[in-house]
Structure 1
């Protein structure tokens, strides 16, 4: 087994974690595809909550047994995340006891469950392993094919077909895009071949564009320069290429728009005309008013169901100043530390690239569009925990030296070959 695999865990634990991953993400996508096509009814409701309840106990048991065998697996990121979830749970329990609206209580309990599951999954999986990469790549291709095939006028929305048996249970574009992004990031972070990465970008970006998921689409575009700058030997050349592309897009923007179908993502070009952006602005203003009135403890569930601030201020409203400071610290500090130690290293270290990529897009989305229970938080901290442990306990390499990148393999081999560290010395 490669170094990443030894850090991640035994084969049996890998199988459990991979099964949980594909159940919650590609599995969610395929379930709702079948639901939207009228092939079946919503026998599992919205799917994600029942699936999460199904996998949480095996994941917790597997994690605890691993800690029992190897106590030093309990890394600092695990402890910080555990403290955050404990504080979050205490706030929810206290408000439930004091008569808080049950709709908010249930929503936050599910948020805690989802965060925990994703943390345990992303901490356990060896994303460089052949087993994961094969299934993940096939899942990405299948999800993209579904989006392209069933899009109408450049928009993927299965509800528009009018054949779903339980249309009220059908996922929105957020659910489909979440499944795609959570699968795409681990794949792209461990892809060695630059040509394969370009191919994946050319498939992934149109998929999320047709899916009309603005936040996830921007996150993917934001991810591309992060990954390519890291891999490049001459970063000035890469910067020049991205600059030329940006200027070309600006010059030919009107011609490009004329070729594109009508899609809500185009609202990003003029947010003043976007009803969604205007609504989110008003919700942010309302959150700021709430924070001004309750600056220390916040005001849990003080908004109508679903009408929360679509940014990290939502944490201040529900968890108080302690909650938002702790949350931002858990993501920002690791991101800064990884950037300083690794990003400009002369060696490529794939175990770094995934948590750093996740931390970067998590911060972007928390600051701009996502609620504070965003599952990317759990994914970031799970991967960072493995990175932290690997750096601290890898006896072959002094902290914080990198693992050398071996020679690039042909595309057909890179598809199914796990990234392996170079031998010591």
Structure 2
């Protein structure tokens, strides 16, 4: 069987989506337990590079539809990628030195992840029962294991690296809690989007809050809670069932917090209510102030690699969208923020004003809301997840265009048959003994053939 480029891209995206997100958690947990060796290193980077190679070969077959059916959105996204690459290369060529080299390498690595997650988001088969089933199995395994961890250890945070009983260097092969939380967040957003029943979504939100809490990343936890509350409020306005679901979810979460308050009081997740005393928050404040100073020195051009020059490490960036302004100038910042903002507003328009509850639009809305919130508050430009939101929005646009074209073709075909073969149509109607609209709805669907 020979698969088309479109089918190959879809299949590669489904496999990659599972491996990069729920598969990431399963892989690192098994490595931390000593069940398997770290044959893929950190997995996310290795698999992303492999997918980058695959997508480079398959992307030409996708470009025409992607560029024409996404109303220019995909074109702007690809132009942003090119702009960032050229901007980085020009700065390195003009200035040179180890700082510019490190900044260029960091940008190229980010671009690889951006392109992979963008195409991945564009080609995820959200309507695939097999993919949904695989995600459900992974979610049950992950939630069950974390519940077992809490019950047996009494610890409300799972830190995989602590499971290793070897020298410290080996811990680099196991992800930190940020990697776990990123993958769990996407896993939950996908399942909420493809699920249709209110009860199922309520269970996902409650168990998802537990999973995100135990994994320990504050940003992802509170972004997930904010999204869950927003979605339930939107759905509650459309259905009494969801209004009751909202009240039930709030009640369950409050009961869990009250019943376990003593055990949770000292956790880092609840430190958000008193951030002034946490070292990580103070460090982020300093990095943010340094970024603002660099932007004020050069508002138009920023200072490419300024975070490395100031902190002497590639991780010395502002933990917000300001890092995009520092590295890629005002235009780069506007494109970076604008892509996510436009995708969020566009998905919100379809979801709220047009009442489209399709899984693609729910997923695009969810990913872009979370990314927009965290870009403003906590995540740097080198965080790759916004590209998944850009791709998810393009996916929804292209799918809507295809459905509209299919409806138009079906309607045109129906008119053609009426005009070209009136005798046959009348004979068939007489034979059936009824007219076309007796069922109560005219048939505007395309032919099954």
Report how far residue 39 of structure 1 moved: 3.1
Matched with 2:414 is none
The counterpart of 2:73, out of the listed 58, 71, 77, is 77
Report how far residue 189 of structure 1 moved: 0.9
Secondary structure, counterpart of 1:395 in structure 2: helix
Distance 1:136 1:251, change over 3 A: closer
- Which has the larger displacement, 312-321 or 348-357? 348-357
CA contact (8 A) 2:216 2:268 kept: yes
CA contact (8 A) 1:37 1:164 kept: no
Where do 5+ consecutive residues of structure 2 fail to align? 409-442
Report how far residue 136 of structure 1 moved: 1.1
Report how far residue 280 of structure 1 moved: 1.0
Matched with 1:377 is 386
Pairs aligned (count): 394
Query: How far, CA to CA, are the matches of 1:46 and 1:212 in structure 2?
Result: 19
The counterpart of 1:160, out of the listed 154, 159, 162, is 162
Is residue 26 of structure 1 aligned with residue 26 of structure 2?
no
Query: How far, CA to CA, are the matches of 1:338 and 1:82 in structure 2?
Result: 20
Is residue 38 of structure 1 aligned with residue 34 of structure 2?
yes
The counterpart of 2:230, out of the listed 226, 230, 233, is 226
Matched with 1:301 is 305
Is residue 99 of structure 1 aligned with residue 99 of structure 2?
no
Matched with 1:15 is 11
Is residue 267 of structure 1 aligned with residue 271 of structure 2?
yes
Report how far residue 294 of structure 1 moved: 1.6
Matched with 1:47 is 43
Matched with 2:57 is 61
Query: How far, CA to CA, are the matches of 2:187 and 2:249 in structure 1?
Result: 27
Query: How far, CA to CA, are the matches of 2:79 and 2:235 in structure 1?
Result: 35
Equivalent residues in 2 for 1:232-243, closer than 5 Å? 232-234=236-238
- Which has the larger displacement, 346-355 or 287-296? 346-355
Q: Deviations over 1:99-132 (max 9, x none)?
A: 2523332222111111110111110011121121
Query: How far, CA to CA, are the matches of 2:42 and 2:355 in structure 1?
Result: 46
Is residue 320 of structure 1 aligned with residue 329 of structure 2?
yes
TM-score (norm 2): 0.79
- Which has the larger displacement, 242-251 or 322-331? 242-251
Q: Deviations over 1:163-195 (max 9, x none)?
A: 257113321100111111122211111110111
Q: Deviations over 1:53-78 (max 9, x none)?
A: 11112123223213368873565221
Query: How far, CA to CA, are the matches of 2:252 and 2:39 in structure 1?
Result: 49
CA contact (8 A) 2:347 2:365 kept: yes
CA contact (8 A) 1:17 1:59 kept: no
Query: How far, CA to CA, are the matches of 1:323 and 1:282 in structure 2?
Result: 23
Distance 1:99 1:18, change over 3 A: same
Distance 1:138 1:11, change over 3 A: farther
- Which has the larger displacement, 214-223 or 236-245? 236-245
Is residue 110 of structure 1 aligned with residue 109 of structure 2?
yes
RMSD of aligned alpha carbons: 3.0
Query: How far, CA to CA, are the matches of 1:326 and 1:73 in structure 2?
Result: 20
Equivalent residues in 2 for 1:277-296, closer than 5 Å? 277-296=281-300
Report how far residue 380 of structure 1 moved: 0.9
Query: How far, CA to CA, are the matches of 1:299 and 1:26 in structure 2?
Result: 37
- Which has the larger displacement, 364-373 or 94-103? 94-103
Report how far residue 311 of structure 1 moved: 0.5
Distance 1:21 1:161, change over 3 A: same
Report how far residue 225 of structure 1 moved: 2.4
Query: How far, CA to CA, are the matches of 1:35 and 1:227 in structure 2?
Result: 36
Is residue 142 of structure 1 aligned with residue 141 of structure 2?
yes
Is residue 343 of structure 1 aligned with residue 342 of structure 2?
no
Query: How far, CA to CA, are the matches of 1:76 and 1:227 in structure 2?
Result: 28
CA contact (8 A) 2:318 2:380 kept: yes
Matched with 2:119 is 120
Distance 1:271 1:79, change over 3 A: same
Secondary structure, counterpart of 1:270 in structure 2: helix
Q: Deviations over 1:308-329 (max 9, x none)?
A: 1100001011111111111111
Equivalent residues in 2 for 1:326-337, closer than 5 Å? 326-337=335-346
Q: Deviations over 1:186-245 (max 9, x none)?
A: 111111011111111122111110110111111211121232234335479967986898
Distance 1:109 1:310, change over 3 A: same
Query: How far, CA to CA, are the matches of 2:258 and 2:325 in structure 1?
Result: 40
CA contact (8 A) 1:25 1:180 kept: yes
Report how far residue 384 of structure 1 moved: 0.8
